[in-house]
Structure 1
Amino acid sequence: MTGDRTRTGDGPHVLYVHFDGLGPATTERYEALLALLTDITPVVQALPPDAALADVRGALRYFGRDAAELAQLVRLRALALHGTDCTVGVAASPLLARMAAQAGEPGQVREVRPEETAAFLDRRPVAALHGVGPATARTLCAYGLDSVGRLAAAPPATLQRILGAAPGRRLHERARGIDPTPVTPTAPPRSATAEHRFERDELDAAHRRSTLLALADDLGFRLRAEGQVARALTLTVRYADRSATTRTRTLSEPTAHTPALAAAAYALHDALGLQRARVRGVALRAEELTAAELAARQLSFDVREEKARRAEAAADRARRRFGTAAVRPAGSSPPRAA
């Protein structure tokens, strides 16, 4: 055992657990894996569709193990009970735990101790810092701030001039490993996900948009079939270096209408500025689902919209009868097989 380390409040006590190999149709298994975590600690924050944060500070003394050993226990139980491997980052904050998990090959436990924080962050590319998307990374690299170490060494005033006061200050703190964000216990929200992994790094923005349209159409059909509407839409873009960017947009009104979902997906995608990004996969998640009959919908006097909804209903009937591939929206392309 590690003795005093299990009683050190500022030592590693946060686990970022990524459940490897989960897809959009594995909600039940994801919830079972979350239950496995709650058997160790009640402080579990769901990060659907395939990850979670766990604060194990209160479990260290009970189990007589340090955080890294508890992470190994999580991996062992997930494999034995659910046939699912995990990649686990262990650190003193959610930021460092997440980055530790993403710093190497899947299926490992990687720990960053407080005394190792500066060295760990110093050699990481700036794009690996959680919260830095491709557009922000390009801006920082244009100023020579291409590593987390250089970002940490830059004067805070410089970052505030480049990025703005609040984002610059927040990024400077993260570059030094400062992350006061607590792990907030949450259950997985009611959501539905559609995702696609490209067979090769996708550089073509037009093909990414056509794939997003196909995913939005799949989500819309599933929601309409279940009598559900979404209040928000989340886009996750995964890159060749195994990093990812996630953005969420609240919809103007709860909807399961494919054009509305696709428009939100396009806006999220275009805002990322992925001109040269090597995209490995994209996922859309419809959030905050509620029953369609309980959601208020603004009446429309646009004849074209009403025709589009009638055509959508007809297409849904055809899909239920002949299969989901029977009808596709114009402009979408079946995602290339992964």
Structure 2
Amino acid sequence: MTEDPAGVLYLRFRRTAGGPAGGAAYAELLALLGAFTPVVEAVPPDGALADVGGALRYFGRDVEDLASVIRVRALALHGVDCAIGAGPNPMVARLAARRAAPGTTFVVARGAEAAFLAPLPAAALDGVGASMARTLCGYGLDSVGRIAAAPLATLQRITGVRTGRELWERARGIDRTRVTPNAAARSIAAERTFPYDELAPERHRRALLSLTEELGARLRGEGQVCRSLALSVRYADRTGYATLTRSRALGEPTAHSAALTALAYRIHESFGFQRARVRGIALRAEGLTDAARASRQLTFDPADERSHRIEEVADRLREKFGPGAVKPAGLAA
């Protein structure tokens, strides 16, 4: 069997009862993928990349068949369904996964990357944030297809030499990154989805508090700190649903939930929403590094020291009695 033209999978795991598969179940799903290929990269909290080029040859299957086998095993053994994107490189596989419904595989074969990417908005490309997307749209480059058709020199004048080259290549489906086995996570994320469009600001803040508590506990449990937070809010507008994303750096690398909450609130306030109908909120901790290697600004504030000590005790209680053993007052039922 020749090498399959779509040998990279991006998988998103969802429990059949609803919600992402995290914790021990997530580790078990990564181990399941490891039975097919050793080239598996974790993408927390509910995703994974897998280079299955060798597995396709070994099992004598095409990419859709192999994805079906993985999905059946995940469902049978762990009660988790998968939405799977397949492509010739990690970037295309990730974007393909967004088109895949749970229980399906969306395949983009080698050579079809440009046609698949062309209608997508500029912000869909890796490395294109809200600010760069606005700049590109100001020059009429509001879709990936228009970016791909633009002269390289034009893109480099707009965004810089190196960034312009990378943008030009990605718009054509060229991704020079590789699936890195056991790669340390550069970011972790969590999200909350409301069952309906939520207008109440206090409910939005409650969701933010829940997210920062979750991310803080995960960071401390893994011995990591983060340097910045990125907040995404999905809300209803006249055309359907739109998503706004903003990120800000922390004063110092930290996993302290109170510091994460304070910054998340400031980012949320910067959106200036006026009775926005919010459907979902996602928060991502970025720039992860080992806590042991991070420096912490010393303080003489007894309240800050007390807060850290309380947090340490709460973490031990959660480890012993479960994640719901200790909650902030703002999350009390």
TM range (shorter): 0.7 to 0.9
Match of 1:7 in 2: 2
Q: 1:268 to 1:130 in 2, by over 3 A?
A: farther
Q: For 1:215 and 1:177, locate their aligned partners in 2 and report how far apart those are by CA, in whole Å.
A: 34
Q: 1:296 to 1:24 in 2, by over 3 A?
A: farther
The within-5 A match list for 1:105-116 is 105-116=101-112
Match of 1:257 in 2: 256
Match of 2:171 in 1: 175
Match of 2:51 in 1: 55
Shift of 1:215: 2.8
Shift of 1:266: 5.9
Q: For 2:290 and 2:175, locate their aligned partners in 1 and report how far apart those are by CA, in whole Å.
A: 31
Shift of 1:95: 1.0
Is 1:26 matched with 2:18?
no
Specify which of 7, 11, 36 is matched with residue 17 of structure 1.
11
Shift of 1:300: 1.9
Q: For 2:191 and 2:141, locate their aligned partners in 1 and report how far apart those are by CA, in whole Å.
A: 33
Shift of 1:246: 9.7
Question: After the TM superposition, which of the residue ranges 199-208 and 77-86 deviates more from structure 2?
Answer: 199-208
Q: For 1:169 and 1:203, locate their aligned partners in 2 and report how far apart those are by CA, in whole Å.
A: 42
Matched positions, count: 318
Question: Residue deviations 1:69-126, cap 9 Å, x none?
Answer: 2111111111111111111111111111111111243331011112322221122222
Q: For 2:204 and 2:131, locate their aligned partners in 1 and report how far apart those are by CA, in whole Å.
A: 17
Q: For 2:228 and 2:328, locate their aligned partners in 1 and report how far apart those are by CA, in whole Å.
A: 25
Task: Report % sequence identity.
Answer: 46
Match of 2:238 in 1: none
Unaligned 5+ residue runs, structure 2? 236-240, 319-323
Is 1:142 matched with 2:138?
yes
CA contact under 8 A between 2:155 and 2:164: conserved in structure 1?
yes
Residue aligned with 1:184, SS: coil
The alignment's TM-score, normalised by the length of structure 2, stands at 0.75
Is 1:157 matched with 2:153?
yes
Match of 1:331 in 2: none
Q: For 1:177 and 1:214, locate their aligned partners in 2 and report how far apart those are by CA, in whole Å.
A: 37
Residue aligned with 2:37, SS: coil
Shift of 1:138: 2.7
Match of 2:74 in 1: 78
Residue aligned with 1:75, SS: helix
CA contact under 8 A between 1:24 and 1:192: conserved in structure 2?
no
Residue aligned with 2:48, SS: strand
Is 1:327 matched with 2:333?
no
Counterpart of 1:299 in structure 2: which amino acid?
L
Q: For 2:251 and 2:189, locate their aligned partners in 1 and report how far apart those are by CA, in whole Å.
A: 16
Counterpart of 1:112 in structure 2: which amino acid?
V
Q: For 1:81 and 1:120, locate their aligned partners in 2 and report how far apart those are by CA, in whole Å.
A: 33
Counterpart of 2:50 in structure 1: which amino acid?
A
Shift of 1:238: 6.6
Q: For 1:25 and 1:300, locate their aligned partners in 2 and report how far apart those are by CA, in whole Å.
A: 38
Question: After the TM superposition, which of the residue ranges 175-184 and 115-124 deviates more from structure 2?
Answer: 115-124
The alignment's TM-score, normalised by the length of structure 1, stands at 0.74
Q: For 2:176 and 2:185, locate their aligned partners in 1 and report how far apart those are by CA, in whole Å.
A: 24
Counterpart of 1:94 in structure 2: which amino acid?
P
Q: For 1:215 and 1:114, locate their aligned partners in 2 and report how far apart those are by CA, in whole Å.
A: 38
The CA RMSD over aligned residues, in Å, is 4.3
Question: Residue deviations 1:5-27, cap 9 Å, x none?
Answer: x4237x21111111124757721
Q: 1:211 to 1:111 in 2, by over 3 A?
A: same
Shift of 1:66: 1.7
Question: Residue deviations 1:31-60, cap 9 Å, x none?
Answer: 111111110000011111111111111112
Match of 1:299 in 2: 298
Residue aligned with 1:7, SS: coil
Question: After the TM superposition, which of the residue ranges 279-288 and 103-112 deviates more from structure 2?
Answer: 279-288
Question: After the TM superposition, which of the residue ranges 183-192 and 165-174 deviates more from structure 2?
Answer: 183-192
Q: For 1:246 and 1:70, locate their aligned partners in 2 and report how far apart those are by CA, in whole Å.
A: 37
Question: After the TM superposition, which of the residue ranges 69-78 and 194-203 deviates more from structure 2?
Answer: 194-203
Q: For 1:143 and 1:26, locate their aligned partners in 2 and report how far apart those are by CA, in whole Å.
A: 42
Q: For 2:35 and 2:248, locate their aligned partners in 1 and report how far apart those are by CA, in whole Å.
A: 30
Counterpart of 1:139 in structure 2: which amino acid?
T
